[in-house]
Amino acid sequence: MTELRTAVFPVAGLGTRFLPATKANPKEMLPVVDKPLIQYAAEEAVSAGIETLVFVYGRNKGSIVDHFDKAYELETELHNKGKQEMLAAVKNVLPSHVSCVFIRQAEALGLGHAVLCARPVIGNEPFAVLLADDLVLSEQSCLSQMADVYNYHHCSVLGIENVAEDQVSSYGVIGGTSLKSGLWELDQIVEKPPIDQAPSTKAVIGRYILSHEIFAHLANQGKGAGGEIQLTDAIAKMMKSKRVLGYEFEGRRFDCGSKLGYLQAQLAYGLQHPDLGADFAEIARDELSKLSTQ
């Protein structure tokens, strides 16, 4: 069995839903409480046993490279001032056994194209794809749950979630048969279908474990929904010859690519924060009571 060792982080998107915050800063660097979204995604990958992180990045994304790089000046300054806790937060962004690879995607041609850019690093191994703007709060991390499914079935696994009918057209949507509670054998996947053409209301979230055969399909993939090379379309082709499962993960997903989803994540992560949670809950209650007396 081939182990899951590599994860791809497509971070070349323009983040238009979050302008003007994303005019000069990548959406993946937006913080939730005290960590940027991309760090949550990287930590999730590491928790699933991933050792190589491949970032496919574009223009204006230099701060992502810097975030995972060594920050000599800052570290020296914090060390000299004896600020050990802050120093640890800066140094321990990733454990030392994890390495990062950065690939520049010159043109943002779509998610499928971004994943294809990682082919030279991945070769003939299975790999994970994580979209950092989908943030999942769970006891066992979402990718680690999916890795368990992969280790048992040795095939591609997509993270899926039931969504409201009016949300269906924003996602890749699956069709298939139930194998057991939470696990689906997929025979369809459609990118952003209108609700009357959707095979179900089960949406793919930004978590994928894919077998390397996806690259051959991506290499021949033309433009799809939104004029972009879609990962979903290549998965649909791969499904004809290779098994693909859909897994309904345990946990709560926040769509941090949308303003409301992002605010909800701040609230949920803020309230659960070990140092800030109790005070934040008081502040939140206070704000709500002010609202109700207005």
The contact set with ligand G1P (CB under 6 A) reads 111, 131, 134, 171-172, 191, 203-206, 230-232, 257
CB 210 within 8 A of CB 199: no
- Distance in Å, CB of 134 to ligand G1P, minimum: 5
**Please, which residue, 159 or 270, has the CB nearer to ligand G1P?**
159
Q: Which is nearer to ligand G1P, 218 or 231 (CB)?
A: 231
Instruction: Indicate the residue among 45 and 231 with the shorter CB distance to ligand G1P.
Output: 231
Q: Smaller CB distance to ligand G1P: residue 263 or 283?
A: 263
Query: Distance between CA atoms of 289 and 294, rounded to whole angstroms?
Result: 9
Nearer to ligand G1P, 10 or 36 (CB): 10
Least separation in angstroms between residue 111's CB and ligand G1P is 5
Q: Which is nearer to ligand G1P, 17 or 35 (CB)?
A: 17
Going through the chain in order, the beta strands assigned E by DSSP cover: 6-11, 31-32, 35-36, 52-57, 99-104, 127-130, 134-137, 156-162, 172-180, 183-191, 202-210, 244-248, 252-255
Nearest residue (beta carbon) to ligand G1P: 172
Between residues 151 and 258, which has the closer beta carbon with respect to ligand G1P? 258
CB of 132 to ligand G1P, least distance (A): 10
Distance (Å) of CA 71 to CA 23, 28, 78, 80: 24, 19, 11, 14
Least separation in angstroms between residue 108's CB and ligand G1P is: 11
Encoding tokens for residue 64?
A: 């992502």
Query: For residues 32 and 53, what is the distance between their CA atoms, to the nearest angstrom?
Result: 21
Residue showing tokens 């983040």: 15
Q: How far is the CB of 248 from ligand G1P (least distance, A)?
A: 14
Which among 188, 170, 183, 177 has a CA at the least distance from the CA of 238? 188
Report the nearest approach of ligand G1P to the CB of residue 245 (Å).
Answer: 16
Q: What string of H, E and C letters represents the secondary structure of 203-226?
A: EEEEEEEECCCHHHHHHCCCCCHH
- Rounded distance, CA 122 to CA 208, Å? 15
Q: What is the smallest separation between the CB atom of 150 and ligand G1P, expressed in angstroms?
A: 19
